[in-house]
Chains A and B, each alone.
Chain A
Amino acid sequence: MEQTFIEILRRALDEELARDVSVHLLGEDVAAGGAFGVTKGLAQKHGEKRVRNTPISEAAITGLATGAALCGLRPVLEVMFIDFATLAMDCLVNQTAKYRYMSGGQLTVPLVVRTQSGAAGGAAAQHSQSLEAWFAHVPGLVVVAPATPAEAYGLLKSAIRLGEPVLYIEHKRLYTMRGTLDDAAELPAIGKARIARGGSDLTLIAYSAMVGTALAAAGQLAALGISAEVIDLRTLLPLDMETIATSVRKTHRALIAHEAVQNGGFGAEIAARIGSELFDELDAPVWRVGCPFAPIPFAPELEAALLPDAAAIVQGVQEMLGTPAQLGR
Chain B
Amino acid sequence: MARVAVEIPKIGLVMEAVRVTRWLKNVGDAIRQGEPLLEVETEKSVVEIEAAVSGRLEEILTAVGAEARVGDRIAWMEAEQAPAAVAPPARSPTRAPVASPRPTGGSASVGNRIVSTPAARRLAAERGVDLRRVSGTGPGGRVQLADLANETASASAPSSTAFAAPEMTPMQRALARSMTLSNATVPQFTLERSVDGSAVQAARTAYAAANAAAPAPSMNDFLLYSLGRALTEMPAMNAIYVDQGGGGIACARGTHIGLVVAVAGGLLVPVLHDVEQLSLTELAARRRDCVERTLQGKLRSDELGGATLSLSNLGAQGPDRFAAMINPPESAILAVGRQRDCVVPRAGGLAIRPMSELTLTVDHRVANGRLAAEFLARLVQILESGDWRV
Contacts and interface: CB of A to CB of B under 8 A. Distances in A.
Contact of B95 (A277, A281, A283, A319): A319
A324 to B, nearest CB: 6
B97 A281 contact: no
A212 to B, nearest CB: 27
Interface in A261-296: 276-277, 279-284
Contacts of B119: 252, 280-283
Given A252-B145, A284-B144, A322 B118 contact: no
Contacts of A102: none
Given A252-B145, A277-B245, A283-B145, A325 B118 contact: no
A322 B95 contact: yes
Contacts of A282: 117-119
Nearest to B125: A280
B245 A283 contact: no
Contact of A283 (B96, B117, B140): B117
A277 B242 CA distance: 13
Contacts of B245: 276-277
A326 interface: yes
Contacts of A276: 245
A314 to B, nearest CB: 15
Contact of B97 (A252, A283, A324): A324
Nearest to A328: B97
B139 interface: yes
Contacts of B142: 322
Contacts of A326: 97
A240 B245 CA distance: 18
B117 A284 contact: yes
Interface in B72-130: 95-98, 117-122
A282 B118 CA distance: 6
B266 interface: no
A321 B118 contact: no
A323 B97 contact: yes
Interface in B225-277: 245
B354 interface: no
Residue among B120, B139, B140, B245 with the highest chain A CB neighbour number at 10 A: B139
A276 B118 CA distance: 11
B138 interface: yes
Contacts of B96: 324
A160 to B, nearest CB: 35
Interface string B125-149: 0000000000000111010111000
Interface in A293-329: 319, 321-326
B313 to A, nearest CB: 36
B62 to A, nearest CB: 35
B139 A321 contact: yes
A279 B120 CA distance: 11
Residue among B119, B122, B140 with the highest chain A CB neighbour number at 10 A: B119
A322 B145 contact: no
B144 A283 contact: yes
Contacts of A280: 118-119, 121-122
Contacts of B98: 322
- Of all A-B residue pairs in the complex, the 9 with the closest CB atoms, nearest first, are A322-B139, A283-B119, A325-B97, A280-B122, A283-B117, A283-B145, A282-B118, A279-B118, A280-B118
7 contacts: A252-B145, A280-B122, A281-B118, A282-B118, A283-B117, A283-B118, A322-B142
Interface of B: 95-98, 117-122, 138-140, 142, 144-146, 245
